[in-house]
Structure 1
Amino acid sequence: MSIEISKEARQQAIASIERYFMTHMEEPISNLAAGGLLGFFLEEIGPLIYNKAVSDVQAQIQARVAEVDIEVHEEAFGYWQKSGHSRKT
């Protein structure tokens, strides 16, 4: 599965890469080269991050499912205790 990002996100990411190179590297990077680098990262490293995120979400969902019985549990035979009904004497 390839990781796709929106056109706007791609433009922002390329601008961020260009800014990073201007700030931290000895030579700037062109817009075309920054786009290529972004494509490489999305294809090569993106799946690692994506899979980690999926794993994290699965763990969160499993934890919530494990708590469902606690959150929605109802005691059986509680009519007499809850309603205040008593036996006629």
Structure 2
Amino acid sequence: MPLTLSPEAQQQAIASIERYFREHMDEPIGNVAAGGLLKFLVEEVGPALYNQGVADAQENLQARVAELDIEVHHEAFTYWNQRSRRK
């Protein structure tokens, strides 16, 4: 499954790349070149970032599942214990 950005996110990313080059590099980058750089980064680096995000989400979910029995656990067979305390 190829990684893609929405058109709005792509426009924002290109504008951000152009601004970065204006403020931090010796030469500005044009819109077409910024779009090409973005396409390269999404294809080359994007999968590693995506995979790390999936791994982080899995770790978080596994931690929550591990705590589930603690959060929702109910003691069984407590009727007689409760009755003996009332007497």
Q: Does TM, scored on the shorter chain, surpass 0.5?
A: yes
User: In 2, are the aligned partners of 1:80 and 1:86 still within 8 Å (CA)?
Assistant: no
Q: Percent identity?
A: 61
| Post-superposition CA distance 1:21-77 (Å, at most 9, x none) | 000111110000000000000000000000000000000111111111101100011
In the other structure, the counterpart of 1:78 is: 78
- Structure 1 residues 56-67: aligned runs within 5 Å: 56-67=56-67
Residue 81 of structure 1, CA deviation: 4.4
- CA 1:82/1:32 → structure 2, altered by over 3 Å: closer, same or farther? farther
Question: Taking structure 1 as reference, are residues 41 and 83 closer, same or farther at Cα in structure 2, changes over 3 Å only?
Answer: farther
Distance 1:38 1:63 in 2: 35
1:38 corresponds in structure 2 to 38
Q: Between Structure 1 and Structure 2, how many residues are aligned?
A: 87
Shift of 1:82: 4.9
- Amino acid across the alignment from 1:19: R
The alpha-carbon deviation at position 80 of structure 1 amounts to 3.9
Segments of 5+ residues of structure 1 without an aligned counterpart are: none
Q: 1:77 to 1:40 in 2, by over 3 A?
A: same
Question: Would you tell me which structure has more helix in proportion to its own residues?
Answer: 2
**Paired residue secondary structure (2:2):** coil
AA partner of residue 22 (structure 1): R
Unpaired runs of 5+ in structure 2?
A: none
Cα 1:39–1:81, aligned 2, differ >3 Å: closer, same or farther? same
Q: What's the secondary structure of 2:10's corresponding residue?
A: helix
Provide the residue aligned with 2:22 in structure 1.
22
